[in-house]
Amino acid sequence: MIKKLLRAIEPTTPIGRRDRAQFLLMSAYGLGAAELLQLRLEDIDWRGRRLHIVRRKTKTPIALPLLPEVARALANYIRQ
C-alpha cells in the first residue's frame, strides 16, 4: 500500500517532492503533522545520518536513523 501511494506522488514537481518527503517521514518514522511542521534543517544531521525530533505529546527529544530513501527525498526537496 505504501509503495502504491508513493507511486501516486508526482516526483518532478515542487509539490510532489515535498509530498514525497513528508509521506516518507510520516510512514517511516510515524511522525505526525505537528512534528513535520516543527522540523528544521538543523534537525537533520546529514553526516551522522540522524534525524532529531521532539515528540509533540511527550516533549521528548529523540534521534532517529536517517534512512537512505528518506534522506534522498529530503535532499531532493531541499535542493529543488
Separation between Cα atoms, residue 24 and residue 69, nearest integer Å: 8
Q: In which band, very low, low, confident or very high, does the pLDDT at 74 lie, cut at 50, 70 and 90? A: very high
pLDDT of 12-68, one tens digit each? Answer: 899 999 999 999 999 999 999 989 999 999 999 999 999 999 988 898 999 999 999
Residues in the chain: 80
More confident residue, 10 or 37: 37
What is the number of alpha carbons within 13 Å of residue 62 lying toward its C-beta? 13
Grid coordinates belonging to 64? 532517529
pLDDT at res. 1: 64
Question: Is the CB of residue 80 less than 8 Å from the CB of residue 17?
Answer: yes
Q: Is pLDDT of 4 > 80?
A: no
